[in-house]
Amino acid sequence: MDSQTKNASEQKKTAPQSLHLRILNDVQGKIVSGVWAPGFRIPFETDMAKDYGCSRMTVNKALTQLTRAGLLERSRKSGTFVKAPQSLSAALEITNIRDEVEKAGRKYSYQLLSDSSDDRQPAFLNHLGAAAFCNIRKIKCLHFADDKPFCIEERIISKTAVPEVVSASFEQEAPGTWLFKTVPWNAAEHQIFASAAKGDVASLLKIPQGSACLVVERITQNEKGYVTWARLSYPGDQHRLFAKFTPAG
């Protein structure tokens, strides 16, 4: 087989998967952003297949995956609807995960997975400046609600901005909880997006590979500089973000 034929064959094999993931991500994004609210009936599979220029089977595969993840619920007679989630948190506030769980009337527990220090800044944070997170403590932990995985917390804390973190223990208390109680902050950035669970994210949350996850990435600062970067990963069927707004002007 010549190289052109081989490349064409590979493209044919990968294109359907790419389109499936595109549909999956588009639908997830509309759900977690609130564009499609709980109870909203999503377009019929035949209409979506026409819009995406694909087979109904490709659309069905994506919607079935989201249904298994708990983001959608289906009725043979009525169609497919956005499923009401199990917990809420404010999209534009910095909240304590323990408080989120306990306010929902559920039992909270916690497990420390890894804890290390490094004097090298992770490459994905280089856009913040060379010295933003160059002396850090890296922690990964798992939060539970009623003994079921609720959230993976991956966190980087600057020892420069938060020297107290050098001696802090996270064996019994999560780093986010400790920061919430100990360290003041005056600015924050949020990124909220849908993601398909892969590798240890799926394993730790005990959900199928490729299932829908809600991910919150956050950076906070104070007068000393960048305090912390965090990535919070939730099972898609257990969490929902909300926010209240007033008119501008």
Per-residue pLDDT of the chain (249 residues; tens, 9 = 90+): 544 444 444 444 444 457 888 898 889 888 877 788 878 899 999 999 999 999 999 999 999 988 887 788 888 878 999 886 554 444 445 568 898 888 888 899 999 999 999 988 888 888 888 778 889 999 999 999 999 999 999 999 999 999 999 999 999 999 999 998 888 777 788 788 888 899 999 999 999 999 889 898 989 888 788 899 999 999 987 666 655 545 544
Report the alpha-carbon distance of residue 146 to residue 106 in Å, rounded: 6
Nearest Cα to Cα of residue 152 among 243, 219, 217:
217
Phi-psi region of 229 (alpha: psi -120 to 50; beta: other; left: phi over 0): beta
Q: Are 59 and 45 in contact (CB under 8 A)?
A: yes
Nearest Cα to Cα of residue 210 among 232, 194, 230, 193:
194
Report the alpha-carbon distance of residue 222 to residue 165 in Å, rounded: 15
**In the chain, what is the greatest distance between 2 CA atoms, to the nearest angstrom?**
65
The two tokens of residue 150 are 């609720």
Nearest Cα to Cα of residue 154 among 129, 133, 169, 175:
175
Q: Which domains does the chain have, with CATH numbers?
A: 3-82 (1.10.10.10), 88-242 (3.40.1410.10)
With a CB cutoff of 8 Å and minimum separation 6, the contacts of 209 are: 197, 198, 202
Strand partners, 156: 138, 229
